[in-house]
Amino acid sequence: MRKQIAAANWKMNLSFQQAEKLLDEILAADISLANHQLAIFAVPFPYLLMTRSELEEMPQYKVAAQNCHQKKSGAFTGEVAAEMLHSIGVQYCIIGHSERREYFSESNIQLAEKVNICFENYVTPIFCCGEPLAVREAGNQNSFVENQLKESLFHLPAAKAKELIIAYEPIWAIGTGKTATTEQAQEMHAHLRNVLAAHFGNDVANEIPILYGGSVKAANAKEIFACDDVDGGLVGGASLVAADFVEIIKALQ
């Protein structure tokens, strides 16, 4: 059975005290997760140790970094290496979030390096893909995301690829006033799985969780997560509200 995941992406938000309070409120809900279900918290770098410590006795709750550098080490002031993440017990890292691609010009080739360095340091990449509005309006979304997978992931051996987590972000529906339907979410997730199956084989493709990253909220999580090829969500704003993220975790099928 594929893993089902509710992943919180706190982005650049919250003071340390606010972060502790939010995490405590979510954990106080005492949600029972099955063995194939995970709640992952991608928190700012200064909060990684605190979050890992809070989750230490909860095997279905994990901590993730929001990014890492593609090189092992060196003169890269302000950057964080995957080896550093591993050394403090961080097991997951978001790679290629749409905001990193847009604001920091991260390329597919650079992201392939980040995927490699994560795996070399026993950190599972949560690899993000997705198309902007112009691509969606031109009807080229399928080939666009296929190329993202091809250039960043297709160099991996199948045994490594099956350890990936993928998050699909419909960038065109985030902050644009446009809304992605449940049908559109399922359609793209099915396409992504077919692309993975064509390259890595059905067995691998059917093991890779594909999360939906398009404004998942407490009110729509259950409907979205019910789609055949949607295995949970990468959640932004709603993950900053304890009651909302609790409901999103509970919506895992």
CA distance 109 to 118: 15
The overall longest dimension of the chain from CA atoms, in Å, is 48
Closest CA to 6 of 189, 180, 152, 212: 212
CA distance 241 to 9: 12
- Residue 169 is among the residues annotated as catalytic for this protein: yes
Among candidate residues 97, 99, 131, 247, the one labeled active-site is 97
Residues 6+ apart with CB under 8 A from 234: 7, 9, 94, 126, 128, 167, 169, 211, 212, 213, 216
CA angle 137, 102, 91 (to 5 degrees): 115
Closest CA to 168 of 197, 133, 193: 193
Give the pair of three-digit tokens for residue 14.
């919250």
Among candidate residues 99, 131, 146, 169, the one labeled active-site is 169
Closest CA to 63 of 83, 34, 86: 86
Please, what's the b/e burial string for 114-132 (b: 16 or more CB within 10 A of its CB; e: otherwise)?
A: bbbbbbebebbbbbbbbbb
The catalytic site residues sit at 97, 169
